[in-house]
Amino acid sequence: MSPRLVPAEDDSTGRRPDTPLRVTVDGEPVTGVAGQTIAGVLLAAGRRAWRQGPSGAPRGVFCGIGVCFDCLLTVNGERDVRACRRRARDGDVITTQSREAGR
């Protein structure tokens, strides 16, 4: 399945395109709209992968429902946040995680 943006009127999460928000990912600004999950913001911005599996293969949103733990990120200093389960807030400081010591 490839990610696509659901029209706001059909989005049961209550996405509000009139209320933009801005987060940073590893220091880079990324914009989204209120109501989106962090995964939603990243996918809509064209980011598909932000972790690596043990083999080096890319990892991002796999299940989208909080089960697979493949979409983990650090949000405002809290590590191992599932991007698909966390609503994005304006100003969120998001960093990607790696398995290298000290991250």
Partner 1 sequence: MRVAVLGAGIVGAACARELARAGLTVTVLERGRPAAATTAHGEGNVLVSDKGPGPELTLALLSLDLWPQILDEITDRRPETAHAVEWDPKGGIVVATTGAGARELERFAAGQRAEGVTAEPLDAPGLAAAEPHLTRDVTAAVHYPQDAQVQPAGAATALLADALDAGATLRTHCEVLGAVTEGGRLTAVRTSRGTVHADAFVNAAGPWSGGLAARLGAPVDVRPRRGEVLVTTPLPPTVFHKVYDADYVGAVGSGAEDLQASAVVESTRAGTVLLGSSRRRVGFDDRMRPEVLSVIAAKALRLFPCLDGVPVMRAYGGFRPYVPDHLPIIGPDPRLPGLWHVTGHEGAGVGLAPGTARLLADLLLGRTPSVDPAPFRADRPAALGSPPSAGGAA
Query: Contact residues for partner 1 (CB under 8 A)?
Result: 53-54, 69, 72, 80, 98-103
- The nearest distance, CB 61 to partner 1, in angstroms, is 15
Please say which residue, 22 or 103, places its beta carbon nearer to partner 1.
103
Residue 78: strand pairing partners: 75
Are residues 23 and 91 in contact, defined by beta-carbon separation less than 8 angstroms? yes
Q: What are phi and psi of 80, to 5 degrees?
A: 65, 35
- The nearest distance, CB 74 to partner 1, in angstroms, is 11
Are residues 22 and 30 in contact, defined by beta-carbon separation less than 8 angstroms? yes
Please say which residue, 67 or 93, places its beta carbon nearer to partner 1.
67
- The nearest distance, CB 48 to partner 1, in angstroms, is 19
Antiparallel, parallel or unpaired: β 78-82 and 72-75: antiparallel
Are residues 57 and 69 in contact, defined by beta-carbon separation less than 8 angstroms? no
Spatial separation of the C-alpha atoms in residues 10 and 52, rounded to whole Å: 33
- The nearest distance, CB 59 to partner 1, in angstroms, is 9
Please say which residue, 20 or 53, places its beta carbon nearer to partner 1.
53
Please say which residue, 20 or 62, places its beta carbon nearer to partner 1.
62
